[in-house]
Amino acid sequence: MIAQLRVDDRLIHGQVALVWTKELDTPGIVVANDNAANNEMVQMTLKMATPTGKKLLIRSVDDAIKVFNNPKGKGMRMFALTNNVSDALKIAQNVSDIDGINVANVGRFADKSEGETHQVGSTLMLSDKELAALKELTKLDVPVFQQVVPSNPKSSIASMLKNK
């Protein structure tokens, strides 16, 4: 089961990964990202960022969905990461066992040539496509919130999207 699906454009990074895996008590981290699944250098950097004692799996989004739906993983608490909202939406639409979706940091390093970006809170810069995906995400039957670190309060994404 996915204890938390986190959207973070930096995927796994430093102490933040350490704090979240501790907070969520997740022995396994799954990075669901097509680029990372095909790029050995990116895989190396993600391995370096993985806290000691945690298992890491790097898969394309489609292959990650198979892992999340594998009956063997039912009792295993997993911390899942994507680096964009569209990938998170695809996972949420195809996996039923998700405790919560944390849309933490998105789009600050994205290609600005893709047209207008929409600022939602201080750490979300969304393209039209990403904004539409985020709206879809809030319609699903799973809590969608923003919480950069565990000591921050959870902010509801639905309320952040009002008037957008």
Partner 1 sequence: MNKILIASHGHLASGVQSSLEILTGMGNKVTVIDAYVDDHDYVPDIKKFIDELDGQTGIIFTDLFGGSVNQKVMLEVADHENVFVITGTNLPIVLSVVLEGEEITKAKLEELIAASQVQLVEEPKDDTDLSDDSFLE
Binding residue (CB under 8 A) for partner 1 from 109, 152, 156, 164: 152
Smallest separation (angstroms) from partner 1 to the CB of 112? 19
**Separation between Cα atoms, residue 153 and residue 40, nearest integer Å:** 36
3-state secondary structure of 36: helix
Closest approach, Cβ 99 to partner 1, in A, equals 18
The answer to whether the CB of 103 falls within 8 A of the CB of 85 is: yes
Per annotation, catalytic residue among 13, 54, 77, 118: 13
Please pick, from the candidates 16, 36, 92, 160, the single residue that binds partner 1 as defined by CB under 8 A.
16
Q: Is 118 a catalytic residue?
A: no
103 part of the interface to partner 1, by CB under 8 A: no
Stretch near partner 1 under the rule CB under 8 A, chosen from 55-63, 82-90, 95-103, 124-132: 55-63
Taking CA atoms, 75 is separated from 1, 83, 97, 98, in Å, by: 6, 25, 11, 12
Measured distance CA(89)–CA(130) in Å, rounded: 10
Find the shortest distance in angstroms from Cβ 150 to partner 1.
Answer: 7
Q: Which of 35, 38, 62, 66 binds partner 1 (CB under 8 A)?
A: 66
The DSSP secondary-structure symbol of 106 reads: B
* Residue from 96, 91, 81, 69 nearest 20 by CA: 81
Which residues would be at the binding site for partner 1 (CB under 8 A)? 13-16, 19, 28, 30, 43-44, 47-48, 55-58, 66-67, 70, 72-73, 76, 122-123, 148-152
